[in-house]
Structure 1
Amino acid sequence: MALSPQWLDELKSRITLSTLIQRTTKLQRAGREWKACCPFHSENTPSFTVNDQKGFYHCFGCQAHGGAIDWMMEQRGLEFMDAVKELASEAGMEVPAPDPRAAQAAEKRASLHDVMAAAQDWFVARLRSDEGVGVREYLGRRGLSQRVIEQFGFGYAPDDKQALKKALSQFDESMLVEAGLLISVEDKLPYSRFRGRVMLPIQDQRGRVIAFGGRILENREGVAKYLNSPDTPLFDKGRTLYNIHRAGPASRKVDRVIAVEGYMDVIALAQAGFEDAVAPMGTALTEQQIELLWRMADKPVVCFDGDAAGTRAAMRAAERTLPMLRPGHSLQIVQLPAGMDPDDLVKRDGPQAMERLLASPKSLLGLIWDREHSAQPLNSPEDKAGLKARLLDHVDAIEHPDIKSLYRRELLERYGSFAFPKREFRPQAQRGKFQPGRAEPQRAPPHVADRLRRAAGGAFRDMLTQAVLAGLQRYPGEVHRHADSLLRLSDSDPQVAQVVDYLLDNAQLLEAGEEPPISPSGILPPPPDNTRFTFLVEGSDPGAAREDLAEAVSMLVERPALDAAIAAATQRFASDPEGAFEEQQRLRKRKLEISERLGQMARKRAASAAEEDYPSDVADVTADEQETD
């Protein structure tokens, strides 16, 4: 089967080589490339490199070299066509059928490049002719230099329905239609798609013209300002980025790529010295375009106009990217001042203004938080709950488990700081003796302290509850991180509610080492005797201790929910004995898993002292957990 060079180029452009190789070979980032010990020969020092921009791997030891198809043949042992078919399946492409018609189609695609090249030459010639005087004046008024006009291949399509067809009469009319240059309508002569417009060529990664974009000279009602070629055998607007053939080499020099909204934005930035800019084809960024951007830079900068449409475009890009996120790859967001596009900003404030914006982009997570936080009023508890639901909807779209977990944690921390703000403490003068410069801590009134102690006495008989609350007292900076879980715990265990309120109200003071206005004496529990929870052991690693504390909070909140579910399953025995029994066994199994995990956590000591198999205090809790309900 003969595969055309054009089809193979398209296949390679849709495959990210490092992603393919990382399925079987561990790669490490090394600047703009990846490196590893060569999978084709034994070595101790990495000499195998992968370059996504150039689309090949190379070993400086054994000289192995090739692209995606070579990798599938050499590493997987596939035949050429088997390798092509597997890659094509992943890339969403159909392998051309082995018949004369497929060969003719491949030949036609090759000749369509000739059609587009001839059309580009004709458009440029029209701009330089007497017909293009007004267009040249228009481009001058837009502030475009002659160098940029020539560099980007500006042309002109006369306002004549038949002029292009006559000029390209050496090609079949059907080819001009297939290339998107003519529009064919039943019972009418085919006529020019582009008329009375400034023309710009759209090129592939090899610099070949595959489509055109045209802009009208004067805004007219009912006429689109910009018009692009339709999808053709050469042009798929969802898989193409304008200016990618110039921006690719430029991005490798500055380790950055800028995605803007339109091709005139690209040209304005290029004239200002930013040569690493690309643009989608008048639509929101697609998954394929995001992959193209990631081949040029790990964190492309997406720049949107400073208007409502720009904000919506930013969120569409974020929503399209979230499911695709992978370690080291994301988007950075720059939003221009209100009512401005890149051309406006550069003309008004100079290139340095753009540089300042590019130097401090917003993260994808920051964009999501800012957008959802400002999307609706947040005046009531219901409004704030709606904010949390919207944030978690975005988190649920993320497929990578580690990234999903980190986004959830960061967004909930921001939400907690907003929904449960830390209260500022202002010491007030107290009666009696006090230290100069610092108010004496206000003790709780006797009836309040007694009530809290009684509540604590009942609740703190449970070792896990006692440990968690003591851990939060030890790490008060974690209180607001777990505010949502603690409030759920308060709902399920009213005895603990007042203690949780105390922690939420005074976490900031406890973290700063200050005495709260109401002393914790008699309210917060002492740590459990002989406990070996990491977050209660002196000298434990703070990071590990906080992670263990987070897990303990999660388990503490889950246990009441399991008890309630087991009780509900027990009540269903009369009507659904089999289903109720299965549900009860599943829930009890989960309770046992929590108990076992508690045992593991309680056995965990500082690295120098893990010796006992099962501490007695945890054994008591585990026995408690395994009692029949």
Structure 2
Amino acid sequence: MSIPQSFIQELLSRVDVVDVVGRYVQLKKGGANFMGLCPFHGEKSPSFSVSPSKQFYHCFGCGKNGNAIGFLMEHAGMGFVEAVNDLAGQVGMVVPQEDISPQERERQAAAKLKQATLNDVLERAGNAYRHQLKEHAHAVQYLKQRGVSGAISSKYGLGYAPPGWRNLASVFPEYDDPQLQESGLVIVGEDDDKRYDRFRDRIMFPIRNVKGECIGFGGRVLGDEKPKYLNSPETPLFHKGRELYGLFEARDALRSMGYVLVTEGYMDVVALAQLGFPNAVATLGTACTNEHVQKLFRFTDSVVFSFDGDAAGRRAAHKALEAALPYANDTRSVKFLFLPAEHDPDSFIREHGSDAFARHVANALPLSQFLLDAASAECDLGQAQGRAKLSSQARPLWNLLPDGAFKRLVLGELAAKIQIDTRELSELWAQAEAQDKRFQRGGARPAPSHSPYDAPPHAPAAPDWVQEFAPSGHTSPYGDRWRGTGNGNRNGAPRGEWKRGSKFGRPQDSWPAPSLGPRVAPSTAPDQAVRLLLSQMKFLEQLDNDDLDTLAHQPAPHGPLFAWIESQFQEHGPQPWAVLQERLRDSVHGAFALQLMEGPHGHPEGEEAEQLQELRNILAPLLAKRIEILETEALKAYAANPSDSAIKAHYLALVERRKLLRDRVTSRPE
């Protein structure tokens, strides 16, 4: 959108920078100017000056300076157009736009009026929830048990939505007002048109934009009911992929503490703020997005992501890594903090204290190290093949980095890990990029030289349970091949048995195996899993955490693409292939995804129930392989530290997971 420069000048002549800055900074008259503590850096003596005559602010400590528009952009994190609109609204001016029609201008004015009205509706609801909190002792007691003080509760505007289906009817006499539904406060039944409150018997967390306006709510149950957390739906005001809980409250702390701490939950933010970390924010029930990272870097040049130590936390960290990489330039810092598996930030800081949490923050993994760790997942760096796998998995991540010294330094670290010269690695990746671009323009990609199921040169003996997870028609990682025998299953595919090859000196033993449903298409199992999820994204709702973890940990290019699909699902819900196809055109994963979907097996056929079962059948051997790798690593760790009870418990838990998986597969009906 283009705003005429003449309008900008007139706007700045009408607004008073003292009033604008005074909304955020306490100012006192000091001679011809106004003075206050700088909002951009921590200080005890005021060095921040605002000049009413020059309509200019300047800090003699950190050097920040500018006009009213610049202040809103620097301090409130607004974009240029947003800051201009904010100031124009204060002085009653209408922002002209040179490149839009009168009809579009009228539509935008109507949308702006609607947003203001929805803000008013949400503010009224927030006031009502805060009043209800005072009236319900058990809700106050719950917060006290969680260690939430009255001061913190007031700062974050916590409230309570009491039990009952239509409590908001006493707040909004016109309960059938469409704005109650549009703001996400009221649900209207599709069949009977009945209306009822969305939030019931929950602690309420108002979600504010950077200007402090309420744009939505998050609600947490007081017990163990499901869902534990419930957010407002997507509305004209609220887009969870763009907003961060607690950012408005944390703005000043970000300046003084020098970094932002990104968590996954409302209670994490509240607990951390109370115990010395008011610079915490949280994503809103979705993966960290590019928009989140971009918004954070408006306020600070240092971001620390804090995730739970469990599998879900690791998946969230990988998504945050991909979101942060495009913004990790030479002047910014990104780190990743992982807590013990049994803790989230809220529980950890209450059990171990602020000092222990501060030590974890100080020891957080730098982005470059976490990128190396993520790219090295399931790579045996003692073998050439493992280092080649690292190269393949690292390339799409490294490509996301912006050009600069940091990107070159990371390339050097990767080259050292891969044990190849930096220049050679750069040339190798450049060739791969050129090949990808040729394919994207319609060229042919050379076929892989081997199957991912090919046996390694010195394959170990297969554990007894492995045969139950063998994909039809492929060689297992142990050198065993699935060969058809018997009368065939319900899909016409032959039943099979494992035939151990003699090339490893083993006898030709065989075992009966259960039916694994439809055969995988003549490509790799991860290929077909990608196709099924791109065709039927809603299948993600049916998969459990183990399955999702398996998908996310597949080697590149599958693993990063799976993570992208899940992030799209979290942000936008299930989407048809036509929509995903457009989103993929500008994505680093686009060429690979389009290659799979344009092939002869691009769009799987059959009933949805059959396709979902096929996806689960595909995931079973992949999950089994992953659990076995983790179990082997855990066993080695236990052998080296037999007295460590935590390592032993971790190993036994993996053994139990593998047994449960075996039972799940073998008990599947024919």
1:589-614 residue CA offsets vs partner (Å, 9 max, x unmatched): xxxxxxxxxxxxxxxxxxxxxxxxxx
- What runs of 5+ residues in structure 2 fail to find an aligned partner? 9-39, 43-61, 85-92, 429-670
Post-superposition offset of 1:381: 2.8
- Following the alignment from structure 2 to structure 1, what is the Cα–Cα distance between the partners of residues 233 and 97? 28
- Rounded Cα–Cα distance in structure 1 between residues aligned with 2:202 and 2:284: 17
* Deviation readout 1:211-250 (Å, 9 max, x if unpaired): 0000111213xx3110000121221212211111111111
* Correspondence list, 1:608-623, <5 A: none
1:290 correspondence with 2:289: no
Contact 1:392/1:408 (<8 A) preserved: no
Equivalence for 1:188: 193
Which residue identity is paired with 2:196? Answer: Y
Amino acid in the other structure paired with 2:119: H
State the match for 2:123 in structure 1: 117
**Which among 135, 151, 156 is matched to residue 152 of structure 1?**
156
**C-alpha separation in 2, matches of 1:486 and 1:121:** 61
What CA deviation, in whole Å up to 9, does each residue of 1:284-330 have, x standing for no partner? 11111101111121121111112111111111111122233333124
- Provide the TM-score with structure 1 as the length reference: 0.52
- Give the alignment partner of residue 68 of structure 1, picking from 80, 97, 118: 80
| One-letter identity of the residue aligned with 1:210 | I
TM-superposed deviation, 1:360? 2.6
Distance between the aligned counterparts of 1:261 and 1:71, measured in 2?
29
**Correspondent of 1:55 among 72, 78, 82:** 72
- State the distance in 2 between where 1:217 and 1:57 align: 39
Superposition deviation, residue 67 in structure 1: 8.5
Q: Which stretch has the larger CA shift, 305-314 or 387-396? A: 387-396
Partner of 1:547: none
- The separation in 1 between residues aligned to 2:102 and 2:228, in whole angstroms, is 38
Contact 1:258 1:303 in 2 (8 A): yes
Aligned-residue CA RMSD (Å): 4.0
Aligned to 1:625: none
1:175 corresponds to 2:179: yes
User: Distance in 2 between the 1:71 and 1:347 partners?
Assistant: 39
Give the SS at the match of 2:291: helix
Q: In the alignment, is the contact (CA less than 8 A) between 1:398 and 1:404 conserved in 2?
A: yes
Aligned to 2:220: 215
- Structure 1 residue 342, shift from structure 2 partner: 1.0
Please say if residues 161 and 203 of structure 2, whose CA atoms lie closer than 8 Å, have aligned partners that are also in contact.
Answer: yes
- 1:166-565 to 2 correspondences below 5 Å: 166-169=170-173, 173-186=177-190, 187-220=192-225, 223-378=226-381, 380-400=383-403, 402-416=405-419
What is the match of residue 141 of structure 1? 145
Instruction: Give, in whole Å, the separation in 2 of the partners of 1:226 and 1:96.
Output: 41
Aligned to 2:459: none
Give me the whole-angstrom Cα distance separating, in 1, the residues matched to 2:426 and 2:329.
Answer: 28
Distance across 2 between alignment mates of 1:207 and 1:307: 33
Q: Could you report, residue by residue, the CA deviation over 1:384-433 in whole angstroms, capped at 9, with x for unpaired residues?
A: 311221122321233426544332222112332xxx9xxxxxxxxxxxxx
Alpha-carbon distance, 1:124 to partner: 1.2
1:98 aligns with 2:86: no
Taking a change above 3 Å as real, the CA distance of residues 95 and 360 of structure 1, as seen in their structure-2 partners, is farther
CA contact 2:264–2:285 (8 Å) conserved in 1: yes
Using a 3 Å threshold, how does the CA distance of structure 1 residues 484 and 268 change in structure 2: closer, same or farther? same
Find the aligned partners of 1:95 and 1:155 in 2 and give their Cα distance. 43
One-letter code of the match for 1:122?
A: A
CA distance in 1, matches of 2:80, 2:157: 33
Q: Distance in 2 between matches of 1:206 and 1:241?
A: 13
Q: Distance in 1 between matches of 2:293 and 2:103?
A: 26
The 8 Å contact of residues 115 and 171 in structure 1, kept in 2 or not, is answered as no
Q: Secondary structure at the match of 1:270?
A: helix
Rounded to whole Å, the distance in 1 between the matches of 2:397 and 2:355 is 34
Q: Deviations over 1:461-502 (max 9, x none)?
A: xxxxxxxxxxxxxxxxxxx76797999xxxxxxxxxxxxxxx
Distance in 1 of aligned mates of 2:98 and 2:250: 31
Quick check: 2:272–2:280 contact (8 Å CA) kept in 1?
A: yes
Q: C-alpha distance in 2, partners of 1:251/1:190?
A: 41
CA contact (8 A) 1:334 1:362 kept: yes
Q: In 2, distance between residues paired with 1:217 and 1:105?
A: 37
> Which has a greater percent of helix?
1
Is the alpha carbon distance of 1:47 and 1:352 closer, same or farther for their aligned partners in structure 2, counting shifts above 3 Å? closer
Determine the C-alpha separation between the residues in 1 that align with 2:355 and 2:82: 45
Give the secondary structure class of the aligned counterpart of 2:358: helix
Change (3 A) 1:81 1:375: farther
- Shift in CA distance, 172/71, structure 1 to aligned 2, threshold 3 Å: closer
Letter in 1 for 2:365: K
Task: Tell me, in whole angstroms, the C-alpha distance in 2 between the residues paired with 1:219 and 1:384.
Answer: 45
Within the candidate set 114, 127, 130, 2:133 is matched to: 127
Q: Which is higher, the Rg of structure 1 or of structure 2? A: 1
- The Cα offsets for residues 225-281 of structure 1, whole Å up to 9 and x where unpaired, read as 100001212212122111111111111112111111111110110110111111111
Q: Counterpart of 2:213 in structure 1: which amino acid?
A: R
Cα deviation for residue 210 of structure 1 reads 1.1
CA distance in 2, matches of 1:32, 1:208: 25
Counterpart of 1:114, as a letter, is D
- Equivalent residue for 1:108? 114
| C-alpha deviation, 1:71, in angstroms | 11
Which digits, 9 at most, give the CA deviation of each residue in 1:484-531, with x for residues without a partner? 7999xxxxxxxxxxxxxxxxxxxxxxxxxxxxxxxxxxxxxxxxxxxx
Relative to structure 1, the CA distance from residue 48 to residue 198 in structure 2 (aligned partners, 3 Å threshold; closer, same or farther) is closer
**2:626 equivalent in structure 1:** none
Which amino acid counterpart does residue 210 of structure 2 have in structure 1?
Q
d(CA) in 2 for partners of 1:98, 1:123? 36
- The Cα offsets for residues 36-57 of structure 1, whole Å up to 9 and x where unpaired, read as xxxxxxxxxx988469983358
| Cα 1:56–1:312 shift into 2, 3 Å | closer
Residue 104 to residue 353, structure 1, CA distance change in 2 (3 Å): same
Does 329-338 or 272-281 show the bigger shift?
A: 329-338
